[in-house]
Amino acid sequence: MIAYLRDLAFQIGIMGESFETSVPWSKTLSLCRRVKERIKKTSRALKIPGEPFVSCRVTQTYDVGSCVYFYFGIQFKGVSDPVAKFTEIEHSAREEIIKCGGSISHHHGVGKHRKSFLPEMIGQIGIDTLRSIKKSIDPKNIFANGNLFDV
């Protein structure tokens, strides 16, 4: 349903997206507040018209923490290079998630969109391990080409 709403919103000049993270219970409330504020602050700095829509909800719970989904949208009519600015806002939100002790993703994975955060999250040993596995099972680099790194 969200994808259909996103497409409808785009027709009236609003770009929106959702993203998720996992975080320990002790940091959940702070993470929610800080990420919302970071989105608003970055939007103001980029001179996005109006107040961005931003909300979140806990979608899964565990003994040690939660999965938090964020939803945000901005007006883009009259904004120069709105895709770049939208991407910058989302990137800054992910930076804040990491500062708050959240993960880069809960279950959507890393992919091309979040791969710049991977070295910070798993370190060089993690990168080397993933690269070795990728070379071993996909020596021609056919699958997920360029999602995490170039082999």
Residues in the chain, total = 151
- Burial string for 95-121 (b: 16+ CB within 10 Å, else e) reads ebbeebbbbbbbeeebeebbeebbeee
Q: Counting beta carbons within 10 angstroms of the beta carbon of residue 26, is it exposed (0 to 12), middle (13 to 18) or buried (19 or more)?
A: exposed
Among residues 4, 62, 69, 71, the one annotated as catalytic is: 69
Report which of 116, 92, 9, 11 is spatially closest to residue 44, judged by C-alpha positions: 92
Residue 67 CA to residue 4 CA, distance in Å, equals 23
Check if the beta carbon of residue 46 is closer than 8 Å to that of residue 87. Answer: no
The SS3 assignment for 110 reads coil
Q: Can you tell me which residue has the tokens 């930076």?
A: 95
Catalytic annotation on 62? no
Active site residues: 69
